[in-house]
């Protein structure tokens, strides 16, 4: 018996010869356990002995040549709490391919039946819960919060508050989804889905009658135990399950999650939501919370990236404006210089005259070009090029005899080269005549 008792104790059981159910119940009746509105998890009846042992923690140790059993029986509150499994579900936004969801702080939420108090639970807390038929007995590891007095994400969702409060209190994340994603519920043959486009779900049952339904946006699919379903990227297999009595109607907050305010804020910084680098969940059809968190961006991250993009756009715009004004000034200066040169030298008309003069063999282009651009060579004897040449004609005049006094001296004139050049020129002109 001693060996069996030790082996059973290691498995969390008590040998009936060491402690019978009747002895245990009698001891519990004599103990004042009902304090602070606490009560035993099961009624003190003989058929509840196994359930009482299942929810209790049994430990054994050896002291003074004796085996000592320690039985920890939980005392529960009279108020019942409804346990909710918080599942984030991406919601399609107005922008193509963009989805938003709320990243939960805790995986489970315990809400009192009157919806006035709630508490948080984790996966680790749920694993330590004890089950009795349709009930779960869990140890309270967090405080009880007043729904109407506390302002956090869970309380705002329970109150179905305004979207502005939801965006301020909750961790709203944004991502891209290009393929249908699925999340299977554990208690029933049900799947949550998010479909970015219209998709046909083919249902096959044992009666071999083909069935189909259309999937779009977000929804819930329930299948019978004898039916399976095939989508474009997943196979949904149903199984026989026993529905637990504690499964209540799904609680869906009456809040339409949208990112229109986010897009308006981004436009103020001259940034579009398409400019933001949003992650994609990829081709995996499984809607896992960790995958959603790693493949999404929070609103704070998006605003930070938008601020950096806005600074980059402003810097780029300023640079383009400076470069544009620089080129404008350069082109203006060049135009003014060219206009000044043309106005000062009459370059166009002079070039035309040079071309015309090149056809005259006696003047030559080089000489005229020198006259054009050498302003110091302008003399009073110069005449316009287009002035007609004057031709002087000399004729014979009859001579008369002039008598001079005896003492009159005839003046002598010195001939210089200039006069000779003039006479020679006049002689040439007379020859031309």
- Asked if the structure places residue 339 within a domain, the reply is no
What pLDDT, on a 0 to 100 scale, did the predictor assign at position 376?
45
Same domain, 116 and 25: no
DSSP summary character for residue 408: P
Question: Which range, of 25-34, 136-145, 231-240, 348-357, averages the lowest pLDDT?
Answer: 348-357
156, 163 Cβ separation under 8 angstroms: no
Cα 258 from Cα 315, distance rounded (Å): 31
- Asked if the structure places residue 90 within a domain, the reply is yes
Same domain, 199 and 232: yes
Tell me the C-alpha to C-alpha distance, in Å, between residue 161 and each of 150, 166, 254, 308: 13, 7, 8, 32
User: Does the pLDDT at position 416 exceed 60?
Assistant: no
Show which of 41, 76, 111 is a domain's final residue: 76
Q: Which of 57-61, 238-242, 343-347 tops mean pLDDT?
A: 57-61
pTM: 0.61
- Asked if the structure places residue 340 within a domain, the reply is no
- How many folded domains does the chain comprise? 2
Cα 336 from Cα 340, distance rounded (Å): 6
Question: Which range, of 126-135, 225-234, 313-322, averages the lowest pLDDT?
Answer: 313-322
Which backbone phi and psi does 85 adopt, to 5 degrees? -95, 115
Tell me the pLDDT of the chain averaged across its residues. Answer: 74
Same domain, 71 and 86: no
What pLDDT, on a 0 to 100 scale, did the predictor assign at position 396?
45
Same domain, 227 and 296: yes
Show which of 57, 76, 95 is a domain's final residue: 76
Q: DSSP string spanning 305-327?
A: HHHHHHHHHHHHHHHHHHHHHHH
Average pLDDT over residues 74-85: 84
Average pLDDT over residues 224-252: 73
Show which of 304, 320, 338 is a domain's final residue: 304
Average pLDDT over residues 130-140: 84
- Asked if the structure places residue 311 within a domain, the reply is no
Residue ranges making up the domain that contains 30: 1-76
What pLDDT, on a 0 to 100 scale, did the predictor assign at position 360?
53
Same domain, 284 and 170: yes
What pLDDT, on a 0 to 100 scale, did the predictor assign at position 433?
42
What pLDDT, on a 0 to 100 scale, did the predictor assign at position 350?
63
- Asked if the structure places residue 375 within a domain, the reply is no
Same domain, 29 and 133: no
Q: Which of 50-64, 154-168, 209-223, 295-309 tops mean pLDDT?
A: 209-223
In terms of pLDDT, which residue wins out, 147 or 355? Answer: 147
- Give per-residue pLDDT as tens, 357-406: 655 554 545 555 455 545 444 444 444 444 444 444 444 444 444 454 55
203, 213 Cβ separation under 8 angstroms: yes
Same domain, 184 and 264: yes
Same domain, 199 and 158: yes
Same domain, 212 and 164: yes
User: Does the pLDDT at position 269 exceed 60?
Assistant: yes
In terms of pLDDT, which residue wins out, 313 or 116? Answer: 116
- Cβ neighbour number for residue 109 with a 10 Å cutoff: 21
Same domain, 206 and 94: yes
Which residues 6+ apart lie within 8 Å of 247 measured at CB?
Answer: 187, 188
Q: What is the number of H-type helices and E-type strands within the chain? A: 12, 19
Same domain, 67 and 85: no
User: Does the pLDDT at position 346 exceed 70?
Assistant: no
User: 51 pLDDT band (50/70/90 cuts)?
Assistant: confident
Which residues 6+ apart lie within 8 Å of 377 measured at CB?
Answer: 370, 371
- Asked if the structure places residue 147 within a domain, the reply is yes
- Asked if the structure places residue 368 within a domain, the reply is no
Same domain, 300 and 177: yes
User: Does the pLDDT at position 332 exceed 80?
Assistant: yes
What pLDDT, on a 0 to 100 scale, did the predictor assign at position 367?
55
- Asked if the structure places residue 413 within a domain, the reply is no
Nearest to 152 by CA among 131, 170, 129, 171: 170
Half-sphere exposure of 105 (CA within 13 A, CB side): 12
- Give per-residue pLDDT as tens, 187-199: 678 888 988 888 8
Which backbone phi and psi does 236 adopt, to 5 degrees? -100, 115
Nearest to 215 by CA among 197, 228, 238: 197
Average pLDDT over residues 19-23: 82
């Amino acid at each position: 018996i001693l060996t069996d008792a030790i082996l059973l104790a290691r498995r969390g059981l008590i040998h009936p010869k060491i402690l019978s159910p009747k002895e245990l119940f009698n001891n519990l009746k004599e103990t004042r356990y009902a304090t602070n509105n606490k009560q035993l998890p099961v009624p003190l009846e003989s058929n509840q002995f196994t359930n009482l042992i299942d929810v209790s923690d049994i430990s054994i140790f050896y002291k003074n040549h004796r085996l000592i059993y320690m039985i920890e029986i939980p005392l529960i509150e009279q108020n019942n709490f409804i346990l909710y499994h918080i599942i984030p579900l991406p919601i399609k936004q107005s922008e193509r391919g963009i989805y938003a969801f709320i990243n939960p702080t805790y995986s489970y939420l315990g809400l009192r039946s009157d919806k006035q108090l709630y508490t948080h639970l984790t996966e680790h807390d749920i694993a330590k819960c004890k089950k009795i038929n349709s009930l779960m007995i869990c140890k309270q590891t967090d405080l009880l919060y007043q729904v109407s007095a506390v302002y956090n994400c869970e309380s705002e969702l329970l109150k179905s508050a305004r979207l502005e409060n939801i965006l301020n209190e909750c961790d709203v994340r944004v991502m891209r989804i290009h393929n249908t994603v699925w999340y299977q519920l554990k208690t029933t043959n049900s799947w949550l889905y998010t479909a970015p486009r219209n998709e046909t779900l083919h249902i096959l049952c044992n009666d071999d009658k083909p069935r189909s339904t259309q999937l779009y946006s977000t929804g819930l699919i329930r299948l019978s135990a004898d039916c399976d379903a095939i989508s474009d990227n997943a196979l949904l297999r149903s199984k026989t399950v026993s529905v637990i009595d504690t499964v209540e109607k799904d609680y869906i907050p009456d809040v339409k999650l949208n990112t229109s305010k986010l897009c308006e804020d981004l436009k103020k910084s001259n940034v579009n939501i398409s400019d933001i680098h949003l992650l994609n969940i990829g081709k995996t059809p499984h809607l896992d919370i960790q995958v959603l968190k790693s493949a999404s961006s929070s609103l704070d991250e998006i605003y930070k990236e938008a601020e950096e993009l806005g600074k980059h756009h402003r810097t780029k715009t300023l640079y383009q404006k400076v470069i544009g004004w620089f080129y404008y000034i350069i082109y203006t200066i060049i135009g003014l210089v060219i206009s000044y040169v043309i106005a000062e030298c009459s370059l166009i008309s002079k070039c035309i005259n040079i071309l015309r003069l090149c056809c005259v063999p006696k003047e030559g282009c080089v000489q005229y070009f020198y006259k054009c651009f050498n302003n110091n060579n302008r003399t009073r004897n110069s005449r316009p090029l287009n002035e007609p040449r004057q031709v002087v004609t000399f004729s014979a005049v009859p001579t008369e005899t002039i008598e001079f006094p005896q003492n009159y001296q005839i003046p002598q004139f010195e001939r210089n080269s200039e006069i000779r050049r003039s006479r020679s020129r006049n002689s040439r002109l007379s020859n031309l005549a």
